[in-house]
Structure 1
Amino acid sequence: MKKDVKKVVLAYSGGLDTSIILKWLGDTYGCEVVTFTADIGQNEDLKPVKEKALKLGIKEENIFTLDLREEFVRDYVFPMFRANTVYEGEYLLGTSIARPLIAKYLVDIAKKTKADAISHGATGKGNDQVRFELGAYALNPDIKVIAPWREWDLNSREKLLAYAGKHNIEIQQKKGKSPYSMDANLLHISYEGLVLEDPAVAPESDMWRWTTDPKDAPNESEIIEIEYKNGDPISLNGKALKPHEMLDALNNLGAKHGIGRLDLVENRYVGMKSRGCYETPGGTIMLKAHRAMESLTLDREAAHLKDEIMPKYATFIYNGYWFSPERLMLQALIDESQKHVNGKVRLELYKGNVIVLGRKSETDSLFNAEFSTFEEDLVYDQKDAAGFIKLNALRFIIAGKNGRSM
């Protein structure tokens, strides 16, 4: 394969792993390297990333830095949140949902630059290698993939740092120890490694980058209103916002009030359990708000069906099957269910909590006070319930008469 690779597109962050990979690819494969850096809201100045690539010998025309924040939220985050997607009961899939977008642009840039292969910095133990590569093969079945972590012997942070020192590769790190393994985008930030490798040890208080400690959050709560159209949030407190602006605004509000911290032991697709910590302030607010909006506007059986398929949908995303026919099929079903998810939700934010205060829909509410009231009404005959119960109990009655008591 090495002889066949003349040019490779690297998903490049400028961090420890991918800076070393950039050098390693040229030395090992003798190929031209193209770098691709995606701005998906990680809130970093990406100019130094380009400068670093230039210092490492990459031609300027081979450096791609793209602002994908709007596409990320509009075409990936929002469709996922229409399903109220949560993996294993807690994880809002902040890392998982970004990978198919990156894979898409790796393939696009490879086509544009006539590259033979793509490369990434995901390890052979993790989920991201699967997500990047499944996405790439779905979009270009002939693409070659170089995964250095599955080839080299630099299998520890210490060896990577030693390699960087030997080749004069500049690396930012915490004084005296390797940094956490972190991933950030507009939806979340994640932390792995160091003390987190022991599930019994609490995270260090200075680890959290985004959110205020709930104990230190404001003593005064804050009330906000989110408007929904076809299942997506479109305005905050009466102000229309683009998708990436909406998520950014909710992140700021959630972070201020200590919302969205998570300490999780999850089951990786490759087989082992992994402990990670996450901050997803805006996503936590969106999940609560969207479910409140659906509670008012979705038919009972439609809502229950969505809840039943959600874990499967979440697993597709977690495992890297964003471009699969099965995920696309479920997305069509989910999107169909959102046609009437329109209205406004009021929420109170307070010390790590998101509290629903109210929800309304002028056009699509299925709540009918005439039927649901506890007061006297003229539309519901309570005697009808007797036959309804008898019919639903019929199988129990027949089984009981046959001696099959529960």
Structure 2
Amino acid sequence: MTKKIEKIVLSYSGGLDTSIILKWLQDTYRCEVVTFTADLGQGEELEPVREKAESLGVKDIRVVDAREEFVRDFVFPMFRANTLYEGQYLLGSSIARPLIAKHLVNIAKEVGADAIAHGATGKGNDQVRFELATNALDPSIKIIAPWREWDIQSRTQLIEYAEKHQIAIPKDKRGEAPFSIDANLLHTSTEGKILEDPSEIAPAYVYQRTVDPLNAPNEPETVVIGFEKGDAVSVNGIARTPAALLTELNSLGGKHGIGRVDLVENRYVGMKSRGVYETPGGTILLAAHRGIESITLDRAAAHLKDELMPRYAALIYNGFWFSPEREMLQALIDQSQTYVSGEVTLRLYKGSANVVARTSVGSLYSMDLVTFEEGSGTYDHHDAEGFIKLNGLRLKSWAARNGKARPGLGGSEII
């Protein structure tokens, strides 16, 4: 016989989906529901979330400021790898899910809950991320995914349920039910409604954190970002905590229209999805990090990192943050950052963040080696001849076999 569930910890945003889920859990499981809301820098006042949970009869309401933890322990480790999913997506939603799952599991242990619950739909990636993270952290806890259990099949039915049970429905600026939006200190993502048709241009009102690059300032702005062992630590010479630093870069990037991406991605569950992402500070940070690595990483080490990055990105996107393979890759990535310290200067202008200067005491860049003027003699131009001959040897063999050598010109000779 299945054990009766006595207490559930719900990942609660206060939005339409999770407010309905809260009511549904109470009615379906007839047990106490504890709510957990993480302040990840979503840019909203969270007191209304507490008030809404109270209005729905919740006695144990947890609202946790996790902004510093989010950037320090999740965002920064990911950025050490210059992580992009499918060449574009900076993984703003993906990297937040393991943190939320970690807190859900910890609270469940603290309050003696039998289960945790989330509001991810049965079509999306987040259900996978929440549940794989939970499996790795506490394989004994039950996971409740209402979207896979109830008979609600659409946003329209969700709204009907809310009206029936007198649950307040949030509205957008036009008085309509909002897009599906996820926001944290790293990004905002917007999906649904008109965006479901990839042939439609996203309307201007979709964008929340960035001005249209066409309307951005006509004068560029210069920013200097300091790094220590791969992590950003200062902006324009002023030390910042991880969350404060990303907040400042978001402000700078948003003002200059930086970090907008309209993409169709391949979800782990097998379908394509169109979304609009805004990652202003993260876009600046990625450019800056690659800038400081360009002078501090050995060529082979840098190329190895670039080869491994797509695998690392897929692990995060697919929900395997708490996995042995991600931790193994992280150890390699972190080792590569030992000398990735210094300062990078970027020019921000109408949607772009371009590196214009970089400096480091651990730089591998040698002006003596690259100068077109007379150097100290460290590099002998004649050495290149033997280098080229050895590298060309296999190409000569390949060309001769394929009949590309011209008769009478010594083309049959390999060397």
TM-score, with structure 2 as normaliser: 0.95
Change (3 A) 1:153 1:405: farther
Identify unmatched segments of 5+ residues in structure 1. none
CA distance in 2, matches of 1:221, 1:401: 55
Kindly name which structure, 1 or 2, has the bigger radius of gyration based on alpha carbons.
2
- TM-score, with length taken from structure 1: 0.97
1:234-269 CA deviation, whole Å, 9 max, x = no partner?
A: 010010000000000000000011101110000000
Contact 1:157–1:178 (CA under 8 A) maintained in structure 2: no
SS at match of 2:396: helix
Structure 1 residue 4, shift from structure 2 partner:
2.6
2:285: which partner in 1? 286
Counterpart for residue 177 of structure 1: 176
Runs of 4+ in 1 over 4 A off after TM superposition: 403-406
1:66 and 2:64 correspond: yes
Distance 1:2 1:126, change over 3 A: farther
Q: CA deviation at 1:155?
A: 1.3
Correspondences of 1:6-405 after superposition (within 5 Å): 6-59=6-59, 62-174=60-172, 175=174, 177-361=176-360, 363-377=361-375, 378-403=377-402
The letter of the residue matching 1:114 is G
- How far apart are 1:400 and its partner, in Å? 3.4
C-alpha distance in 2 between matches for 1:248 and 1:405: 60
2:169/2:177 contact within 8 Å kept? no
Judge conservation of contact 1:69–1:244 (CA < 8 Å) in 2.
Answer: yes
Give the letter aligned to residue 262 of structure 1: V
For residue 2 of structure 1, report the CA deviation from its aligned partner. 6.9
- Give, in angstroms, the shift of residue 176 of structure 1: 5.4
Moved more, 374-383 or 26-35: 374-383
Q: Give the letter aligned to residue 6 of structure 1.
A: E
Shift of 1:72: 0.1
Secondary structure (helix, strand or coil) at the match of 1:96 reads: coil
> Structure 1 residues 2 and 11, CA, compared in 2 at 3 Å: closer, same or farther?
farther
- Once superposed, what is the RMSD of the aligned Cα atoms? 1.3
Provide the rounded CA distance (Å) in 1 between the counterparts of 2:177 and 2:358. Answer: 47
Is this contact kept in 1: 2:41–2:185, CA < 8 A? yes
> Residues 375 and 155 (structure 1 numbering): CA distance in 2 closer, same or farther, change over 3 Å?
same
- Cα distance, 1:404–1:201 mapped onto 2, change above 3 Å: same
Residues 3, 29 of structure 1: 8 Å contact kept: no
Distance 2:403 2:107 in 1: 66
**8 Å contact from structure 1 (residues 251, 282) kept in 2:** yes
Q: How many residues align?
A: 403
Aligned residue for 2:206, secondary structure, equals coil
Residue 35 of structure 1 aligns with an amino acid whose one-letter code is T
